Structure 1
Amino acid sequence: MKKKEKQSFIDRFLNKVEAVGNRLPDPILIFIVLMGVILFASFIASLFNLKATNPGTGEVVEAVNLISGEGLVLMLTESINNFSAFPPLGMVLVVMLGIGIAEKTGYFETLMKRIIEVAPRKLIIPTIILVAILGNVAGDAAPIILPPLAAMVMLRLGYHPFSGLVMAYAAALGSFSANFILGMTDALMMSFTEPAARLIDETYTANIAMNYYFIAASALLLLIVTYFITIKLTIPRLGAYHGAEVSQENVSDTEKKALRWANISIVLTALVFIALLIPENGVLRNQETGSIMNDSPFMNSVVFIITILFFVPGLVYGLKAKTIKNSKDFANVLSDSMATMGSYIVLVFFAAQMLAYFSWSNLGPILAIKGAEFLQEMNFTGVPLILGFIIIAGCINLLIGSASAKWAILAPVFVPLFMLLGYDPAFTQMIFRVGDSVTNPITPMLPYLPLLLAFAKKYDKNVGLGTLLSNLLPYSIVYFIVWSLFLVIWYLVGLPVGPGGPIFLEQ
């Protein structure tokens, strides 16, 4: 009799995480339960008069009891606004119009087949990871757009599509503060760091690139780490996919011709946007500052621009390949692409209420301030201080999704504290960014996790959050270990984290 292969400790642990996660009720019910937990926690916190003082503004933040007349009125009157104003909802639905037409016409399938025919197989997965990391410059676009595309590529390569979903999702969010390109996140972080530093030094001036050396080096590091996790753990653990078979036929001459015209169309469309962006007076630049990145029409519309860059080649391919023959076909393609988002829309309604309740209760800011005070009281220095701050930031990230909201609370605490210990604000900012990023793949406070589940259900309608979280967890754990160690080594060597961003104030 054939002996059963012994599982490693990691496999056994992740299998237990998956089993426990999948025993949980449907995500809709989970969000409903969390709504109840938050309401009860707000009542208890208010009963004990839980409060904290924001060190930046001096404002006393008090827990708000939502189990009250005022709370009930708030929940009833704001429920529609919570849903309609949910940040990624409109963005996801708009993007799905572009992705949907590119997928339903066959453009994506033919493109993936052609790439795999001509590209070196060893470069395909690293390229996806690199695009996911660089995609952070586009803000919220990467975790929305890349996972379903990566799933299609991995399926075409003969791997389980979930491996592509979790790899792209983890790379886009877990490496949120690693990039070769400066973006809006760098500007946002700096905008809170500078005023916090001026609480100690009124002459301190920050710059958008003060973390650039470290984030650029981190991008290369995390590319390698993500590839290693995917190849050594995710792909073997998920095993073979037993869903619908994927056609292994080569691209036909008709498909090649349609693909060629579609690719030409995307290049021409991109050139139009470049022409509107590159000139100093380009209409997609910030008309006051001339900036491409900071508060420019380009950055404010980047998601819709990406949608157009999917929509145009999808339409051209459909017309050339005859998968769209008339206006009825065109309308059906768009309708079909949106029909797949029904379960996501329902899930978003309850997720939006849960996040709104947590925000109204003030529990997030209070816990953040209390955590900062605890670390301050422990009187850590050097490496323990760095690791302690990373852990605090990572844990708070499980409760508050917005990086700028967290840093607005924590910067006035930690920037002056680290300055008094001799550390430059640029280094303090970088420590926070590492801690804030590593738990992104597993935090339920980011609105992209329900979307990832919706994508996964296309391949397995019975999949649960446990399956996704058990495969995302290794990325968060390894990111935390490797990236923290990398930052500690960087600190011990004494390298500046960027231009005008030394480790110590005296440098």
Structure 2
Amino acid sequence: MSSEAQAPQSENGRLARILDGIEKVGNKLPDPAILFLCLMLVVWGVSALLSNMSFTEIDPRTGEAVVIKNLLTAESLTSFLTGMVKTFTAFAPLGVVLVAMLGVGVAEHSGFINTALKKMLRITPVKLITPAVVAVGIISHTATDAGYVVVIPLAGVIFYAVGRHPIAGIMAAFAGVSGGFCANFIPSAIDPLLQSFTQAAAQTLDADIQLNPLNNWFFAASSTLPIIGIIWYLTDKVMEPRLMRSTPLDEGIDAPALDEIGERENKAFRWASLAMLGSMVLVAVLAMPESSTLRDASGSLTNFSAPLMQAIVPLIFIFFVIPGVVFGYANGVFQSSADIIKSMNKAMEGMGAYIVMAFFCSLFIAAFSQSDLGVLLAVKGANFLQSLGMPAGVTIVGMVFLVGFVNLFMGSASAKWALIGPVLVPMLMQLNISPDLSQAAYRIGDSSTNIITPLMPYFPLVVVYCQKYVKNTGIGTLIAAMLPYSMALLAAWTAWLLIYWGIGLPLGLGASYTYGL
């Protein structure tokens, strides 16, 4: 064999050894619930140590020096105990997942989702399953967190149904939903949300500056194609072959069997689809009038404050329950209302592990937030970037990697930008870099490392999805699986921004690359 042929094999072998090592080390970590508990105790200890230290970094929220709060005082511990239940029940992903899964459970156990998948596979070539899954994952951002509770688990079912490794489907969908979070050719609620923080940060230097809510739309839309291409290549050529070699599936997997569609099933699906479409049309009609109660005070339907956006998860529940019930009765699966409730019960049976993890995760995130350690980390990083005094292009790259690093510890896109933005945006404006470009760079770093941090609230849920097919899937397994996606997205997406900037293509509506002092 020639040395040229041996080189790729050697590189693939080296990558496999690295990923196997990461998986092995990661899986030696305790159960995710215990991991979050240990991290919370670490935060308590570090907060006690740093609370006696003075810092020169300025908290952008208060305009005063950052002060670390000691979480081991009697007052803090009392507050922790009295607020524990509220902290858990107010944990946003918990309600999102459970409410959506109730509706999805009805649609799944009635057979509606099974039939929909069979029909989708009939019109989608097997070779295009991966890009189709990734594209749907990216589009799902329009409905806030719907992708995490709908697209990712269904991707596993789809891959399993066509004889592919279901974990590969989950990985591809996870990379699209979470790694490609800030890319979408359809404007979503994340656009005006980030713009509002960017504009507020820019106005600390220029009180009259106004930014368009869709100031990154064109760049976000253009990013979808390279992101789909990267995830498609990694899934089909790198990660799925590795899974086939090293990760055998468990026996007796409870996944839908996608057999032929009978006449009764076809008829039931038509009625169920009409019911789903009718419910969507009804919501659209109710939202259309300018006086609609689904609009916010400014008349917008897409702002985060709009009731329509706040009702996305309940609407997901409704849009799955209605066709699920219609299909179940029409196809003879449901005989009474008790069968509907049983389908919800069955959906909840698989969520026990996630609920336990969510309990400890909520406590850790609350402790990390209350201590202000995240604020200190973010501001120190931004100040360090400013002190380097690098050229504009290098500064933007540095900002992307800084945000990607901070994102490992702070999952919320809005909270992170609220902390970093007031430091970075004015700083870059003084380097003649526009707030629009700063926001675009932020979106790349904020998305790319979502998929490799267990501190991302939905990360434990993805572990649960994988355990449906391979019970010994652990945190290390998922991190090792998603690391190549994360690094590839971070590098390629940053390069795409530099190319896009170099060509001079518009970032979005009313956007610019430079800011004139």
TM-score exceeds 0.5: yes
- Residue 414 (structure 2) aligns with: 404
1:19 is aligned to 2:27: no
Query: 1:401 & 1:119 partners in 2: Cα distance?
Result: 34
State the AA in 2 paired with 1:214: F
Query: 1:168 & 1:400 partners in 2: Cα distance?
Result: 22
Q: Secondary structure at the match of 2:101?
A: helix
Return closer, same or farther for 1:219/1:269 CA change in 2, 3 Å cut-off.
Answer: same
Q: Which moved more, 1:363-372 or 1:464-473?
A: 464-473
- Residue 243 (structure 2) aligns with: 238
1:357 is aligned to 2:375: no
1:293 is aligned to 2:293: no
What is the correspondence of 1:319-334 to structure 2 with a 5 Å cutoff? 319-334=329-344
Q: Secondary structure at the match of 1:401?
A: coil
Query: 1:91 & 1:278 partners in 2: Cα distance?
Result: 26
Q: Is the 8 A contact 1:154 1:164 kept in 2?
A: yes
- Residue 335 (structure 1) aligns with: 345
- Residue 63 (structure 2) aligns with: 58
Q: Is the 8 A contact 1:372 1:414 kept in 2?
A: yes
Query: 2:403 & 2:73 partners in 1: Cα distance?
Result: 32
- Residue 487 (structure 2) aligns with: 477
TM-score (norm 1): 0.94
Q: Is the 8 A contact 1:159 1:241 kept in 2?
A: no
- Residue 222 (structure 1) aligns with: 227
1:143 is aligned to 2:152: no
Query: 1:368 & 1:506 partners in 2: Cα distance?
Result: 27
What is the correspondence of 1:56-135 to structure 2 with a 5 Å cutoff? 57-135=62-140
- Residue 3 (structure 2) aligns with: none
State the AA in 1 paired with 2:270: R
Q: Secondary structure at the match of 1:475?
A: helix
Q: Secondary structure at the match of 1:47?
A: coil
- Residue 209 (structure 1) aligns with: 214
Aligned-pair distance for 1:50? 4.6
- Residue 503 (structure 1) aligns with: 513
State the AA in 2 paired with 1:232: K
Return closer, same or farther for 1:308/1:51 CA change in 2, 3 Å cut-off.
Answer: farther
Aligned-pair distance for 1:37? 1.1
State the AA in 2 paired with 1:386: I
Matching residue within 490, 501, 510 for 1:491: 501
Aligned-pair distance for 1:455? 1.8
Q: Is the 8 A contact 2:115 2:258 kept in 1?
A: no
Q: RMSD between aligned alpha carbons?
A: 1.9
- What do the CA deviations read for 1:287-322 (whole angstroms, capped 9, x no partner)? x32212122221110111111111111111111221
Return closer, same or farther for 1:41/1:56 CA change in 2, 3 Å cut-off.
Answer: closer
Query: 2:221 & 2:496 partners in 1: Cα distance?
Result: 13
State the AA in 2 paired with 1:276: L
Q: Is the 8 A contact 2:249 2:469 kept in 1?
A: no
Query: 1:118 & 1:177 partners in 2: Cα distance?
Result: 28
What is the correspondence of 1:352-501 to structure 2 with a 5 Å cutoff? 352-501=362-511
1:37 is aligned to 2:46: no
Q: Is the 8 A contact 1:51 1:63 kept in 2?
A: no
Q: Secondary structure at the match of 2:66?
A: strand
What is the correspondence of 1:276-287 to structure 2 with a 5 Å cutoff? 276-286=286-296
Aligned-pair distance for 1:51? 6.0
Q: Is the 8 A contact 2:450 2:456 kept in 1?
A: yes
State the AA in 2 paired with 1:473: L
Return closer, same or farther for 1:115/1:68 CA change in 2, 3 Å cut-off.
Answer: same
Aligned-pair distance for 1:57? 4.1
Aligned-pair distance for 1:457? 2.1
Q: Is the 8 A contact 1:214 1:497 kept in 2?
A: yes
Aligned-pair distance for 1:248? 5.5
- What do the CA deviations read for 1:65-93 (whole angstroms, capped 9, x no partner)? 11221221122111111101001111111
State the AA in 1 paired with 2:514: F
Query: 2:490 & 2:186 partners in 1: Cα distance?
Result: 22
Aligned-pair distance for 1:506? 4.6
Q: Is the 8 A contact 1:132 1:142 kept in 2?
A: yes
Q: Which moved more, 1:78-87 or 1:254-263?
A: 254-263
- Residue 165 (structure 2) aligns with: 160
Query: 2:185 & 2:423 partners in 1: Cα distance?
Result: 29
Query: 1:116 & 1:110 partners in 2: Cα distance?
Result: 10
State the AA in 1 paired with 2:360: F
Q: Is the 8 A contact 2:71 2:371 kept in 1?
A: yes
Indicate the percent of aligned positions where both proteins have the same amino acid: 38
Q: Is the 8 A contact 1:56 1:196 kept in 2?
A: no
TM-score (norm 2): 0.93
Query: 1:205 & 1:150 partners in 2: Cα distance?
Result: 41
State the AA in 2 paired with 1:391: F
- What do the CA deviations read for 1:347-402 (whole angstroms, capped 9, x no partner)? 11111111111111110001100111111111112222111111111111111111
- What do the CA deviations read for 1:107-130 (whole angstroms, capped 9, x no partner)? 222222232234332333322211
State the AA in 2 paired with 1:355: I
Q: Secondary structure at the match of 2:299?
A: coil
Q: Is the 8 A contact 1:243 1:460 kept in 2?
A: no
1:272 is aligned to 2:277: no
Q: Is the 8 A contact 1:43 1:64 kept in 2?
A: yes
Return closer, same or farther for 1:36/1:174 CA change in 2, 3 Å cut-off.
Answer: same
1:311 is aligned to 2:321: yes
Q: Secondary structure at the match of 2:308?
A: helix
Aligned-pair distance for 1:154? 0.9
Q: Which runs of 5+ in 2 are unaligned?
A: 1-8
Query: 1:283 & 1:77 partners in 2: Cα distance?
Result: 36
State the AA in 1 paired with 2:328: G
State the AA in 2 paired with 1:251: I
